[in-house]
Amino acid sequence: MIRIFALLLLLPMYSMAQQKLNLTLFGGLANYSGDLQEKRFTFSQSGGTIGAGLSYEVIPKVLIRGGLQYGKIGADDKKSLNPEFLARNLNFKSPVIEASLLADYSFFDLEDKNFTPYIFVGIAMFHFNPYTRDSTGAKFYLHDLGTEGQGLAAYPDRKPYKLTQLSIPFGGGVRFRISENAVLGYEIGLRKTGTDYLDDVSYRYANAADLLAAHGSKAVELSYRGGELKTGSSAYPTDGTRGGSKYKDWYYFQGVTLSIGILNGDGKLFSGLSHRGRIDCPRPVL
C-alpha cells in the first residue's frame, strides 16, 4: 500500500509535465483532538510541523497537490481544568508523518486577482507512535505496552491499533501573490482518522493483574498515573472509564505556505512565460 501511495504522489510529475508545477513549503503548528484534549480545536499544547509538496494546475483554479508533512502532537492531563482528567494524570507525545494527495479549489484565479481563498480535500496515509516518560524520565512507547489490554484474550473487543493508517484531510486557507513567481498563504487542515488511539487512550481500564501478567509492571504504572500526584490516589481503578470511545481522534495542521513556480507550461524551469499555469503579475481588470 505504501508503494502505491508513493506512486500516486509522484504521478503529477510524470503525467502533467507540461503544466505549471509548483513547489510548496509549509511551516506551523500541529495539534489533535482526543481524550486528552478538551476542545475540538485549540492552540493549547500545540507542537511544530513542517512540510513540502508539489502541485499542478489541472484547469483554472483547480490544483492537484501531493505532499509530505511532519508534525508533533501531545497533551498532558496536568494542564486540564477537568478534575477527572487531573486525577487520571496521563500524558503522551507522538510524531505524525503524513503523505497526502489533495484536490484544491481556489475561488479566484490568481491570474486575475492577487489573492484568493481556497478549499481542499483528499486522502492521506499517516504514521504515529504515542509515547510517554515515567516518573524517572525514561521513555516508553505506549503501543507496545497495551495499556488498555489490547490484544489480550480477556478483552476480545480491544484489538491492537495500527500505527500506520489512512485519514481524510480537508480544510482551507487564503493565498496572496507576493511576486511574479511566488505565492504566500495561510492554511488550516483537519484530518479525520479512523482510530481512537492517537493518544493511546480510548476505553475502560484493563484489570491490573491481566496487564501485569502480559506486559509487566510498567504497563500497569503507565495505564493509570494518579499515584504520581501529591494529592492523587495510588489505588489502581478496579473498574472505570479511562477514555471515551464514542468519537475517533483527529489531528490538524495550520501554518504558513510558500509556493514557488518551478516549471512553466512549456516545460521550462523557473521561466517567466505569460500563459496559463504561470504565476505572474495580475492582468488589469477593467
Domain housing 125: 2-130+160-198+249-263
3-state SS, residue 255: strand
pLDDT at position 119 is 98
Percent of the chain with pLDDT over 90: 74
> Into how many domains does the chain fold?
1
pLDDT, one tens digit per residue, over 90-146 is 999 999 999 999 999 999 999 899 999 999 999 999 999 999 999 999 999 999 999
Residue 218 inside a domain? The answer is no
pLDDT at position 81 is 87
**pLDDT higher than threshold 80 for residue 251:** yes
3-state SS, residue 268: coil
Contact 202, 144 (CB under 8 A): no
Top pLDDT among 284 and 100 is at 100
pLDDT at position 2 is 54
Residue 22 inside a domain? The answer is yes
Q: What is the CATH number of the domain that holds 45?
A: 2.40.160.20
Confidence category of residue 273, pLDDT binned at 50, 70, 90: very low
How large is the average pLDDT for residues 148-165? 95
Q: How far is CA 154 from the centre of its chain?
A: 33
DSSP type of residue 204:
B
How large is the average pLDDT for residues 5-19? 45
- The CA distance from 185 to 191, in Å, is 19
- For 34-43, 167-176, 190-199, which range has the lowest pLDDT when averaged over its residues? 34-43
Residue 138 inside a domain? The answer is no
Confidence category of residue 268, pLDDT binned at 50, 70, 90: low
- The CA distance from 182 to 25, in Å, is 11
Strand-pair partners of 273 = none
> Rounded mean pLDDT of the chain?
88
**pLDDT higher than threshold 90 for residue 79:** yes
Contact 188, 117 (CB under 8 A): no
How large is the average pLDDT for residues 261-281? 54
pLDDT at position 155 is 94
Q: Element (H or E) spanning 13, and its range? A: helix 2-15
76-to-6, 37, 45, 96, 208 alpha-carbon distances in Å: 34, 8, 8, 17, 22
Confidence category of residue 267, pLDDT binned at 50, 70, 90: low
Residue 77 inside a domain? The answer is yes
pLDDT at position 208 is 95
From 26, 6, 102, select the one nearest 69 (Cα to Cα).
26
Burial of 38: CB neighbours in 10 Å, binned 0-12, 13-18, 19+: middle
How large is the average pLDDT for residues 46-59? 95
Residue 178 inside a domain? The answer is yes
What is this structure's pTM? 0.86
Residue 78 inside a domain? The answer is yes
How large is the average pLDDT for residues 155-182? 95
Top pLDDT among 248 and 245 is at 248
Residue 271 inside a domain? The answer is no
**pLDDT higher than threshold 90 for residue 20:** no
- HSE of 230, CA atoms in CB hemisphere, 13 A: 0
Q: How far is CA 61 from the centre of its chain?
A: 26
What are the cell numbers at 257?
A: 505556505
Residue 203 inside a domain? The answer is no
3-state SS, residue 77: helix
